[in-house]
A = this chain, B = another copy of it.
Amino acid sequence: MAPDATAKRERAGSDNTSKRGEVLFELPIGAKGKVVTTRPKPNVYLITFASGPDNRLTSPFCQALLLALDIIETRYDPGVVITTSGIEKFYSNGLDLEHASFTPGFFPDSLYALWRRLLTYPMPTIALLNGHAFAGALMLAMMHDYRMMNPHKGYLCLNEVELGVPLRPPMTSVFRQKVSPQTYRKLVLEAARYKALEAFKEGIVDWLGGLDDALTYVDELKLVQKAGKGMSGKQVYGDLKREMWRETVGYLENFGAEDGRDFTTQARRLQERHAAEGKVTAWEMKAKL
């Protein structure tokens, strides 16, 4: 490894004491951001994204990650993918709501495409949470197979109830499928802010530590081998995940159905509200007699 490359890696974000490995390729995110893919050990691919100030999940961000995942799958040996942030304070601060609302095709072509790709990726995936992961960023982390969190840094939170923003079907579905009902309720309805230890105790994250710890778990769980061919000669890791999480995959593949369902739900709610008003008015009139 060239001395320059080592210095450059140690400057970026957290985990300076671990060896990120040789740089395999870099991709731009917009004008100033960057996705760097390195190989810290054989068949383990570390994707470090940095799009200041806080790694919002914009179209360019999602497209860069999608391309990185495609390059790894088609040009490198099957193994394990770890994603992390090159910005020390944040894994990501979630969606840019304005960008999401006004970019045509953002949900189906960028956000849901990235989430779907991770959820069904034919290699084990680990989200290495070096810092905060809020809302859409926590959802991104949940689309991975495993989550490792810095024990001393960062909060996890779904704050839609405080923002007054509804959650779309795949956004709730992934939690419904991957955490306990009690944790699910706490996340969605209480907007609980989880520090690392709590998140670990409740199973939102699987391990506490950094890159070195993640690499150790990769060995302990033989995760590289899981991406390989089974005794039948077939590689089934991605297929297994697609079937395991079929409900969430279904929502991620059917963005078009959301609008129709929203419309029906809205109509039903208006009708229910109208009926409620009618019943209450009738009761009030009877009370006056």
- Show the binding face of A for B, using Cβ within 8 Å: 27, 66-67, 70-71, 73-75, 124, 145, 160-169, 172, 176-182, 184-185, 188-190, 203, 206, 221, 226, 229-244, 246, 253, 265, 268-269, 273, 276-277, 279-280, 283
Number of copies: 2
Instruction: Report the bound CA distance from A169 to B247 in whole Å.
Output: 11
Q: Which residues of B contact A232 (CB under 8 A)?
A: 163-165
Instruction: Report the bound CA distance from A247 to B146 in whole Å.
Output: 26
Kindly identify which residue among B70, B167, B181 contacts A279, using a CB–CB cutoff of 8 Å.
Answer: B70
Kindly identify which residue among B165, B231, B237, B280 contacts A75, using a CB–CB cutoff of 8 Å.
Answer: B280
* Known pairs A67-B279, A70-B280, A161-B236 / 11 extra A-B pairs, C-beta < 8 Å: A66-B279, A67-B283, A70-B279, A145-B185, A160-B236, A161-B240, A164-B229, A164-B233, A166-B240, A169-B246, A239-B265
Q: Which residues of B contact A75 (CB under 8 A)?
A: 280
Closest Cβ–Cβ distance, residue A131 to chain B (whole Å): 23
B283 touches A230 (CB 8 A): no
Instruction: Report the bound CA distance from A121 to B165 in whole Å.
Output: 17
Closest Cβ–Cβ distance, residue A71 to chain B (whole Å): 5
A74 touches B277 (CB 8 A): yes
Closest chain B residue, CB of each to CB of A124 = B189
Q: Which residues of B contact A234 (CB under 8 A)?
A: 164-166
Closest chain B residue, CB of each to CB of A265 = B242
Q: Which residues of B contact A164 (CB under 8 A)?
A: 229-236
Closest chain B residue, CB of each to CB of A203 = B182
Q: Which residues of B contact A165 (CB under 8 A)?
A: 230, 232, 234, 236
Q: Which residues of B contact A176 (CB under 8 A)?
A: 177, 244
Instruction: Report the bound CA distance from A239 to B235 in whole Å.
Output: 39
Once A190-B221, A279-B67 are accepted as A-B contacts, the answer to whether A240 and B160 lie under 8 Å apart by CB is: yes
Closest Cβ–Cβ distance, residue A106 to chain B (whole Å): 18
Once A161-B230, A164-B234 are accepted as A-B contacts, the answer to whether A203 and B185 lie under 8 Å apart by CB is: no
Once A161-B230, A189-B124, A240-B189 are accepted as A-B contacts, the answer to whether A74 and B280 lie under 8 Å apart by CB is: yes
Q: Which residues of B contact A182 (CB under 8 A)?
A: 203, 206
B181 touches A181 (CB 8 A): no
A-B pairs with beta carbons under 8 Å apart, 28 shown: A27-B283, A67-B280, A67-B283, A70-B276, A160-B236, A160-B240, A161-B237, A161-B240, A163-B231, A164-B233, A164-B236, A165-B236, A166-B234, A166-B240, A166-B243, A167-B240, A168-B243, A169-B246, A172-B243, A179-B181, A180-B180, A181-B203, A182-B203, A188-B240, A189-B237, A189-B244, A190-B226, A239-B265
